[in-house]
Chain A
Amino acid sequence: MIRFRTVSILATAAAVASMGPTAASAQDVLKIGFAGALTGYLAPYDQPTQQGLELAIDEINKAGGIDGKIKIELTTRDVRSETAQSAVVAQELVDMGINVMIAPCDVDPAVAVGQIAQAANIPTIAPCASTPTLPGIAGPFTFANYTADNLQGTVLADFALEQGYKNALILISRDTPYTEKLPLYFKQVFEAKGGQVPATLEFKMGQQDFSAEVTRIKELNPAPDVIMTAAYEPDFPAFIKQLRSSGINTPVLGSDGIDSPTTLALGEIAEGVVFTNAGFPSEGGPLAKFNAAFTAHFGEEPTSVYPATAYDVIKSIEAAVKATGGNLDGQALRDAIDNLENVPVATGTLTYKGRERVPLRVVALNRIVAGEKTHVADVTPKAADVPAP
């Protein structure tokens, strides 16, 4: 059902785009290109992102466009989760005359896309790549959007210290920057504030069996007060199952990757797990409103936060276009995004001003209680505490 709608929107977008210069004049249409992974290993992130983009654009266009006059037109092309294909698709989108580029959900293809768009003076926003070094690598036209890894690491370390934990174990995987660096940012902050991280264990993504690691944790003397990891499914469920079933009840801290129905379905073994993510849908809050709008539009509840963070991207672009007074020139838009402050978005507010293109946003702390996600706190870490990327 959703798929058909996506296809028809894509078809419409493609048809409109193929009309070329005979379509509406550039001044009253903002063209956005999404080089997204509709297939391959990034599809679990980019397909929900596509839904969030569609919803935001639909809302804005129904209200008459940005400032009541500039309509948004979205063209999505599949990059198949490949970096080389991302570069090809990015060039195609640039050649179509887009004004703003949206990059795939992982840092490597996002860098490829950002660099190509930059050569054409087109600003790029990466909706859910969370590596804080991304904008620095890709260049001055590329912006991050998602809760950066170093923000999450800082919030988790502060939380761990508040709980009185002194001795932490981190479980990392060098397979992705996310699974490796996020726990290392945690370690950096935790140690800087007096905690100790004597043990680091490594896993291979998809390894399924954590029995050897769990047996090693059992051996540790002193036993850790807390275990922190950025593993997500299928690794996180496999790890915590084997950890708990071997009788280790050490508290576990995780990051936004485990914000998924699978974690909630784990039952009593996930009880008490605390994790960070981009926002908690408090009653009456913007995320709850977004989730209701999503459910009304797509006929099912969102199963991840990626539609909401994609919605945020469009809201940032809308705010930037308002700031330029409708000037869609690439340099003007870039500067406008770079100066955005406290833009109201689905997950709270976003500030780019003075942030080197990695936005400051709230980090939510959640705790799993009886198979439900409960809200612990919304935290904005002190800028001085956040480790440099």
Chain B
Amino acid sequence: MDLFLQQVVNALSLGGTYALLALGLAVVFSVLGLINFAHGELMTLTGYAIFFALAAGLPYPVALVLGVLVATASAVVMERVAFRPLRNSNATVMLLSSFAVAAMLHVLFQNLISARPKAIPAPQFLMRNVEVLGLQIGAVQLVSIAVTAISLLGLTLFLRRSTLGIATRAAASDFNITRLMGINANLVISTAFAISGLLAGIAALLWLFQRGSVDPLMGFLPVLKAFIAAVLGGLGSLSGAVVGGLLLGFIEVGLRAYLPDGMQAYREAIGLTIVIAVLFFYPSGLVPRREAVR
């Protein structure tokens, strides 16, 4: 029973990180209809910002905050440079543009910074474990769960209480009508990218605490997981992204914990089969985006 609860905590912690990432993709998709495959590179940028901040002698907490701010600002710049000029073209063009941004950043990181990973030390207190209700929980996991919860709460408050948040939600449900109401489209889209950058930056911190280094290709895998989670939850649906991320975490940890040893090699395939099975019964995802049908 204890081991089961332990695995539940493991799943919550991993699923929470996936949820943050998927939410970042979903916020942008909801207003632009674009899956930003350069989302993972925002995480890489956070990593390099922290690395250079520490190298410049800034205190650790300042470096972390700076890292998140860099991701946020980069997301806004990315929209301005790579997506705004293409806004009126086909959605596929913007998708390709996001791949181009990712590929260019990979090569720039590899050739201007280093192809080798750069070490980012994590604070030693994160290496301890804490006893909660008889369970031994790693500090990193507790921090992940707490940070995810706080971020989701903060985002919900922003989207429900602030004018800009309400405008973003309105744009997510019907962008054209929102513009007719006199809402500035550029402002809403920039806000969506800023939120997605902020979430990518926060997720990057959790990711970096675990992996201990930043390298040019670091963002590739997380964005893939986030995409699966976002589709699973329902593309463009914000609550769906959170549900999808958590479910993906539970599927992965569940398979790793309980699949017999001989089957472990197939767990990725089994995991994705489960995702496909869910989509078979819920083709628009678990919490589909509500769309007005006229």
Contact = CB atoms under 8 A, between A and B. Distances in A.
A189 interface: no
Contact of A246 (B122, B138, B218): B138
B126 interface: yes
Interface residues of A, number: 47
B119 A261 contact: yes
Interface in A207-222: 207-209, 211-213, 215-216, 218-219
B117 A241 contact: no
A325 to B, nearest CB: 39
A211 B14 contact: yes
Interface of A: 3, 38-39, 41, 43-44, 46-48, 174, 199-202, 204, 206-209, 211-213, 215-216, 218-219, 233-234, 237-238, 241-242, 244-247, 260-262, 264-269, 303-304
Contacts, number: 141
Given A208-B211, A238-B212, A246 B136 contact: yes
5 closest Cβ contacts across the A-B interface? A234-B211, A237-B212, A211-B10, A265-B119, A212-B256
A211 B129 CA distance: 12
B274 interface: no
B207 interface: yes
A60 to B, nearest CB: 25
Contacts of A202: 261, 264-265, 267
* Interface size band for B: 35 or more
B215 A241 contact: no
B63 interface: no
Contacts of A234: 117, 210-213, 215, 218
B107 interface: yes
Nearest to B221: A206
A242 B119 contact: no
A267 B119 CA distance: 11
A241 B206 CA distance: 13
Contacts of B117: 44, 233-234, 260, 262
B216 A245 contact: no
Contacts of A43: 110, 115, 216
Contacts of A268: 124, 127
